Amino acid sequence: MSDSPGAPVPPPPPVFPPPPPPAGKALGWFFAVSGAIVLALTLGCMVAVAGDLRSSDYGIVLLCGSPTLLLGGLFLWLGVRGLKR
């Protein structure tokens, strides 16, 4: 099969692949909202259990609630970080 002299030459393939489409913000919103809810509920429970912030029980309440506070803070940080992109 021979090429005819008047046939157009196809363009060369692109050198780099096209950039991927931007990711959705749904996961960022999920982490941000769930982190804020976890933090609000944890702080509310801590204040409800301790009663007063000057209470002597507040130290143990803070110690027991700190893992949940860290988890809520991590979720909130991941969500905000995901929404900035």
What is the pLDDT at residue 31?
92
| CA distance linking residue 43 with residue 63, whole number of Å | 12
What is the pLDDT at residue 25?
82
Q: What is the pLDDT of residues 19-74, one digit of tens each?
A: 776 667 888 899 999 999 999 999 999 888 888 777 788 888 889 999 999 999 99
Rounded to 5 degrees, what are φ and ψ at 8? -70, 145
* Segment 3-20 mean pLDDT: 76
Concatenating the DSSP letter of every residue in 15-28 gives SSPPPPPPPPSHHH
* Segment 2-11 mean pLDDT: 74
Say if CB 80 and CB 32 are below 8 A apart. Answer: yes
Tell me the domain boundaries of the chain: 26-84
Of 8 and 24, more confident: 8
Which structure tokens are listed for 65? 């609630």
